Amino acid sequence: MAKQVALFYFRVRIAERWIPWLLAALALAGALGPTITNEGLVMKTTPAGSETLHHHTRRMGGRDPHEAHRVATPLELLFDLTFVVSFGLAASQFAHELAEGHYAAALIGFGFASFAICWAWVNFSWFSSAYDTDDWIFRLVTMVQMIGVLVLAIGLPRMFASIEHGEHLDNSVMVLGYVIMRVAMVFQWLRAARQDPARHRACLTYAVAISIAQLGWVVLIFFDFSLGVTFILVCTLVLIELAGPVTAERKDGGTPWHAHHIAERHGLFAIIALGEGIVGTLATLSAVVEEQGWTTDAALVCIAGIGLTFGMWWVYYILPSAQILEAHRNRSFVWGYGQMVIVGSIVATGAGLHVAAYFIEHKAHIGALATVLCVAIPVSVYLGSIYALYTYLVGRFDPFHAWLLIGTATVATLAVIAAFAGIDMAACLVILMLAPAVTVFGYEILGHRHQAEALVKEDAATLIEHQRVHVDSSLPHTHRQ
């Protein structure tokens, strides 16, 4: 436990030193500086009138979903900072359970934690994309949600420990933090429902779905159920949470979220998750240096960790998310829910690198093969999710991807075989680093051309569909004439 606490505070010190500078730079680039678009460098020309300088109450009537050069705001970046700590603690708990060989407890705890963290972020970000007024009410409610994130993070160790002991799920503190965030979200949706009559029903649907789910979460705080009963209740509440946006957006008119803005926000969220890969690399490197000094293995571990994280970052931005979502808003659900799987697998990869650190320090109760699998499995889930989401977005499967997937699977298998054969952990990680590199090389050599062709076909199909809808909608009018 002391090791976990020390590792957590080590993460916090890193976050305190570097993350604020990163967020400040992103905020300055997005809010004050030029914007990079497909047309080149565009300078902000909005006049600094009194309406843009104060934060008095503004009507929450919905943002323009086609607003030009929409970027993340400094408030959104500040909100993201709380998730750096949450992911860090979730990853450290996950790594500890894996290193101890408690695989079931690790997977259940991390699945529960990653859903709560990701879903809280998703709800805020999509609401902000549609209704961000940046007035004092919106800002203060966001602050309340940030408090909820931290309370949720504090409850993670107790939740993991209770699953490990196998008696009951002690998630009271974690759920309390989650409820704080969600009650604040209900307030936001009710405000939007009142001030945006055109989308009153959709906003009210969001508020009702969240409220129903929160009643169930509160029950979990005050009643002590067995693990089995708790698992069933949690799955039911998760389904209610996921069903709310689908009902509101598809049946009740939807909200004016911005495709390019939401794609950027999810990209930034993925970068936050990739930070776990950096911290995991540092932990593994520290373990090698403490055990062996500055040796070749230290260099290999550093190259493997950073190379793996860098490759995963490169692969993520191959997805043509913004362009497709702009043309097909109905594809946002699979895309958005798929993003949670992607982010969760990224964080799990960072945790796997921490398991490698435990193994090198001789503090893990699992073998080399299991240690490599702790990294190889989440990397494989990540890459598989990227390919699946890409295929869904463009609406067709590229046969070239089959060869890339075979190459990726071959690399991951070689890393596992190397661990089984007793090859050094650093070398196994270097082999595994090449898994995302297969996709990167394939995309840069040939895949980008296939993507361009797929997007052209998608644009043509979209144009034909719009023309068909236009003709169909004009037929009753022509008949009456």
pLDDT given at position 154 = 92
pLDDT given at position 169 = 73
> What are the backbone angles phi and psi of residue 41, rounded to the nearest 5°?
-85, 125
Q: 185-189, 212-216, 385-389, 459-463 — which is least confidently predicted?
A: 459-463
The answer as to whether 406 is a domain residue is yes
How many domains does one find in the chain? Answer: 2
pLDDT given at position 12 = 44
Domain boundary among 256, 279, 313: 256
> Quick one: tokens of 34?
């030029």
Same domain, yes or no, for 162 and 264? no
**Residue 223 — left, alpha, or beta (φ > 0 → left; ψ -120 to 50 → alpha)?**
beta
Same domain, yes or no, for 350 and 458? yes
pLDDT given at position 472 = 52
The answer as to whether 61 is a domain residue is no
pLDDT given at position 114 = 93
Same domain, yes or no, for 252 and 266? no
167: confidence class by pLDDT, cuts 50, 70, 90 = low
Give the helix/strand (H/E) hosting 37: strand 35-37
371: confidence class by pLDDT, cuts 50, 70, 90 = very high
Same domain, yes or no, for 360 and 236? no
Same domain, yes or no, for 218 and 342? no
Same domain, yes or no, for 326 and 207? no
Domain boundary among 256, 290, 319: 256
Give the helix/strand (H/E) hosting 41: strand 40-42
- How far apart, in whole angstroms, are the C-alpha atoms of residue 24 and residue 190? 31
Each residue's pLDDT tens digit, 57-108:
888 888 999 999 899 999 999 999 999 989 999 999 999 999 999 998 899 8
For residues 222-237, give the mean pLDDT.
82
pLDDT given at position 42 = 42
37: confidence class by pLDDT, cuts 50, 70, 90 = very low
pLDDT given at position 477 = 46
- How far apart, in whole angstroms, are the C-alpha atoms of residue 59 and residue 50? 16
The answer as to whether 332 is a domain residue is yes
Each residue's pLDDT tens digit, 319-344:
999 999 998 999 999 999 999 999 99
Task: Give residue for tokens 């993520």.
Answer: 316
33: confidence class by pLDDT, cuts 50, 70, 90 = very low
Each residue's pLDDT tens digit, 247-281:
999 888 889 999 999 999 999 999 999 999 898 88
21: confidence class by pLDDT, cuts 50, 70, 90 = very low
Query: Is the Cα dihedral 40, 272, 21, 144 positive or negative?
Result: positive
Residues 189, 206 contacting (CB under 8 angstroms): yes
CB burial of residue 45 (10 Å; 0-12, 13-18, 19+): exposed
Same domain, yes or no, for 252 and 286? no
The answer as to whether 149 is a domain residue is yes
Give the helix/strand (H/E) hosting 42: strand 40-42
- How far apart, in whole angstroms, are the C-alpha atoms of residue 406 and residue 442? 12
Residue 385's domain comprises 258-468
> Which residue, 284, 285, 451, 315, is CA-closest to 379?
315
For residues 216-223, give the mean pLDDT.
83
- How far apart, in whole angstroms, are the C-alpha atoms of residue 39 and residue 165? 58
439: Cβ contacts below 8 Å, ≥ 6 apart: 311, 315, 318, 383, 386, 404, 408, 447
Same domain, yes or no, for 292 and 423? yes
Q: 390-394, 424-428, 439-443, 476-480 — which is least confidently predicted?
A: 476-480
C-beta atoms surrounding 410 within 10 Å? 13
Same domain, yes or no, for 338 and 425? yes
In eight-state DSSP terms, residue 40 is: E
The answer as to whether 117 is a domain residue is yes
Same domain, yes or no, for 267 and 240? no
Residues 218, 162 contacting (CB under 8 angstroms): no
> Which residue, 147, 435, 121, is CA-closest to 265?
121
Same domain, yes or no, for 129 and 1? yes
Q: What is the DSSP string of 55-78?
A: ----------TT-TT----HHHHH
Each residue's pLDDT tens digit, 127-146:
999 999 989 999 999 999 99
Same domain, yes or no, for 150 and 226? yes
> Quick one: tokens of 185?
């979200």
For residues 398-414, give the mean pLDDT.
95
Residues 123, 179 contacting (CB under 8 angstroms): no
Q: Is the pLDDT of residue 217 over 50?
A: yes
The answer as to whether 478 is a domain residue is no
